[in-house]
Amino acid sequence: MGLNSSSNREALRFMAQLGVQDVVLNTPPVPTKNGKWELGDLIGLKSGVESWGLKLTAIENTQIDMRHHLISGGPRFDEQLENMIETIKAIGNAGIPMYTMSWRYPRYYRTGHVDIGWGALGTAYDAEVENWPSVIDWEISLDRAWECLETWVKEATPVAEKYGVRLGLHPVDPPMPEIGGVPSLLINFENYKRMIDIVDSPYNSILLCQGSFSQFAGADQENGESIYDMIEYFVKRERVLYVHFRNVSGTVPKFHETFVNTGHVDMYKAMRIYAENGFNGFFMDDHVPMTIGDSSWGHRSKAYANGYIQSLIETVTDTSLYGLH
Amino acid sequence: MEPMVAIFWPAGEEVLQTAAQYGIKNVLVYGGPGSQHMTYQDYVAMRMKIESYDLKLAAIEGGFTPQLDYHDVMFGGPKQDELIEDLLNQVRDMGRAGIPIYGYNWMPNSWGRAQPTIVRGGALGTGYDYDWENSRRPSTFGKDMDEDTMWDALEYWIKAVTPVAEEVGMRCGIHPDDPPVPQRGGVPSIFRNFAAYKRLVEIVDSDYNAIEFCQGTFSEMPGEDIYEMIDYFGKRNKILYVHFRNVSGKAPSFNEEFINTGYVNMKKAMRTYRDAGFTGNFIDDHCPLMVNDDDFPGNLGGYRSRLFAQGYIAGVIESVKKEVEYGGPVDMSAVRKGASS
C-alpha cells in the first residue's frame, strides 16, 4: 500500500497514521540543474520522508520540461535523453528504488467535473469538449513517436538495472490517440504489450494506473481486453511496479472519475486478480472525489479510499497488513 | 450488512451530506429518553430530515441510565413504576414515529477510560486501566450496590418494555458495560461477560429484547471469545447493530486502536456475522484522534479518522459478501508455492 504526492510534514504524518508505509512523490520540488536532478537534492528529499518512519519507494515524474522533447521527438531529444539518464543514475545513487513517469506530452488533463451524487465531484473528460492546441512547433509521426519511446527504453533500461531503479511507464490520461499534436502510444493493451517487449526486463515495467487502464476504449467490455484481462496479463509477467487504485465510470471518449467503490470496475474482483497472480507491489489511492467540507488536498476522501484499499487487501489475502492475525 | 454512521442531533447539513456523498445509507442518532426530551413530532421531523437526504434513520442510541433522575429504574427505588411509565411513553413515541431500533445501556456511571495511548503514526487511542480508575473514582452512592438487586430491577424493566417495543415495532437492545470490569465506584457492571447476555436474552424470549452489540466492548471482556459471542447471538437474531471498532486487548487494561490494528481479526469477525445470518448495520463508533482532524458531530474521532474506518467497513462488507461466490479468500499459500515452482 502506498501514497502520495505532497511532501509537507502534516501530510506525511497523516499518511503514517493512516498506516501508509510506502510513499510516492509525484513531481517533487527538486530543482532542475542544467536539465537534470542532482544526488544531494534527492538525498534531502528521501531523508525528509524517512524521518516520519515512511519509505520513499518511488518518484513519479520529473518536471515536464526536462523530458518533453524526449517524448515528442523535439530538437532537444538527445540532450534530454542524456539528462534523464543522468537523473536516473542520481535516483539510484540516492537509494530510491523506482522511477515512474507518464509518457505523454502535454500532461494529464480533464475537461470538467461531474456531480457523482449529492454534490460530490469527480473529474470528467469529454472528447467533444476537449480542445488542446498544438503544444509543439515541429511535426511528429506515429512511427517517430514509437522510435522515441524505443530509444528511451533501450538506453535507459540497462542504466536502471545497473543503478537499481525499476522504471515504469504510466498510461496517457486521458487515453486518446492524439493530444495537442502529439501521437499517444500508451493508450491500449496492445501498445503496452509492445512497450514491455522493447526490452524484456523487470526494469522496464508499468505504473499500472488502474484508473487510466479502466478508461481505455473497451476496458469495460468482456472482449479479452477488459481491465481484468490487462491486470492479469501484466501481473503474471511481473511487470507491474505499483497500482493507482481508483475507479471510473465509462471509457474514452467520455468518462468521469468516481469513488473507489462506485465505478464500472469491480474492485474486489480486481484485487483478487492481483493476489492470485502473486503481485507484491503496493496500492495507492491516486485521485479521489471532492466532498463537502474537505481540505483542498482531500484528506477525508483520501482517508476513505485508504481504508477501503486496506480492507480489500486484508480480506482478499486473508492476512493482516500489520502481521497481527 | 451495510455501513452506518452515528451522529449528534440536531445535525448540520455537512454531516448528512457527507453520509449521502460517501454512500453511507444508514444513520444512527444519539438521543432518546434521558437526553434532550423529544416528542413524537420531534422524532418524525428527525426521520424526515434524514430521509430528505435519501438516508435512513436506522437507530437511535442513548441511555437514560447514567442520569441520577432514573436511578430508581436500575436499583428498584420508590419512583421505579412512575419512571418506567414515563419511559414507556417515550418508547411508544419513538416507535410510532417509525424508528426501528433503540439501543441503550445499563451503566449508572456511564462509560469510562483512563490515560490515552499513542497508536499508529502517533495518533491517540483511548486507554483503560482498572487500577488507574479505581484509585481515582469515588464511591458513587457512598456504599457498594448489590448486583442481585440490579438484576431484579433489570428483569422488571425488560418485562415491562419488551411488550411495548413489540407493539410499536421498535427493537430494543442493551450495550455492554464499557469497560467490562467487576465494578466502578461501588456499582456492579452487570453486562461485563457472555453469561450476563445469555441471561438477558432469556428474560423475555423476543426479537425485541436484544443487544446493542458493541463489538469493541465485547472484545474487551476478559476470558471471552469474541467470535463465539458474535456467532451465538448472531444465530439467535439478538444483534440489532454493531459497533465495529477494535482494541489492543482485554480488561483490566487495554487501549482502543485503529480498526485494523487491534487484536481482533475484523475480517474473521465480519465472516462470522455473515455466516450467522446477521443482516444489520455497522458503525465506526470510536476512532483514534488524528493530526489536524476536523471535528465530527458524533462520538470520538474527527471526519478524517472516521472516514478511514468507514472506507474499511465498506470494503470488508463488500469483500465478505462477494467472496462467497469465489469460495472464500485467495489461498495465498498456493499463490506463493506457484510463484516459487
Q: In the prediction, which pLDDT does B214 show?
A: 98
ipTM above 0.85, yes or no: yes
CA distances from B121 to A10, A64, B291 (A): 12, 34, 9
Percent of chain B with pLDDT over 70: 99
How many Å separate Cα A188 from the centre of its chain? 15
Report the mean per-residue pLDDT for chain A: 95
Cβ atoms of A160 and A167 closer than 8 Å:
yes
Q: Which of B263, B328, B330 lies nearest to residue A276, judging by beta carbons?
A: B330
DSSP, res A190: H
Cell numbers given for B94: 419513538
Q: Residue A313 class from Cβ within 10 Å (0-12 exposed, 13-18 middle, 19+ buried)? A: buried
Element (H, E) at B128: strand B127-129
Q: Which of A275, A305, A308 lies nearest to residue B335, judging by beta carbons?
A: A275
C-alpha span between B293 and B296 (Å, rounded): 9
Q: In the prediction, which pLDDT does A6 show?
A: 58
Contact B14 A17 (CB under 8 A): no
Q: In the prediction, which pLDDT does B341 show?
A: 41
Contact A303 B267 (CB under 8 A): no
Q: In the prediction, which pLDDT does A9 show?
A: 85
Percent of chain B with pLDDT over 90: 96
Q: In the prediction, which pLDDT does B34 show?
A: 85
Instruction: Give me the mean pLDDT over the B314-333 stretch.
Output: 97
C-alpha span between A200 and A239 (Å, rounded): 9
Cis amide bond preceding A174, omega within 30: yes
Instruction: Give me the mean pLDDT over the B18-44 stretch.
Output: 94
Selected residues 44-103 of chain B with any CB under 8 Å from a CB in chain A: 53-54
Q: Which of A311, A313, A317, A324 to mutate to test the interface with B (most CBs of B within 10 A)?
A: A311
Answer yes or no: is pLDDT of B68 > 70.
Answer: yes
Q: In the prediction, which pLDDT does B339 show?
A: 59
Contacts of B14 in chain A (CB under 8 A): 292-293
Lowest mean pLDDT among A180-184, B189-193, B212-216, B336-340: B336-340
Q: In the prediction, which pLDDT does B338 show?
A: 64
Q: In the prediction, which pLDDT does A260 show?
A: 98
Contact A276 B335 (CB under 8 A): yes
Which of A17, A20, A77 shows the shortest CA–CA distance to B125?
A17
Q: In the prediction, which pLDDT does A8 show?
A: 83
Give the three-class secondary structure for A197: helix
Q: In the prediction, which pLDDT does A3 show?
A: 52
CA distances from B43 to B10, B13, B90, B103, B149 (A): 11, 18, 10, 15, 34
Q: In the prediction, which pLDDT does A2 show?
A: 53
User: Going by DSSP bridges, is the β-strand pair A254-257/A248-251 parallel, antiparallel, or unpaired?
Assistant: antiparallel
Q: Which of A17, A119, A266 lies nearest to residue B120, judging by beta carbons?
A: A17
C-alpha span between B260 and B290 (Å, rounded): 15
User: Going by DSSP bridges, is the β-strand pair A204-209/A166-170 parallel, antiparallel, or unpaired?
Assistant: parallel
Q: Which of B267, B308, B314 lies nearest to residue A261, judging by beta carbons?
A: B314
Contact B21 A291 (CB under 8 A): yes
pLDDT tens by residue, B99-117 = 999 999 999 999 999 999 9
DSSP, res A290: B
Contact A314 B123 (CB under 8 A): no
Taking only the tens of pLDDT, chain A with its 325 residues reads 455 555 688 899 999 999 999 999 999 999 999 999 999 999 999 999 999 889 999 999 999 999 999 999 999 999 999 999 999 999 999 999 999 999 999 888 999 999 999 999 999 999 999 889 999 999 999 999 999 999 999 999 999 999 999 999 999 999 999 999 999 999 999 999 999 999 999 999 999 999 999 999 999 999 899 999 999 999 999 999 999 999 999 999 999 999 999 999 999 999 999 999 999 999 999 999 999 999 999 999 999 999 999 999 999 999 999 999 9
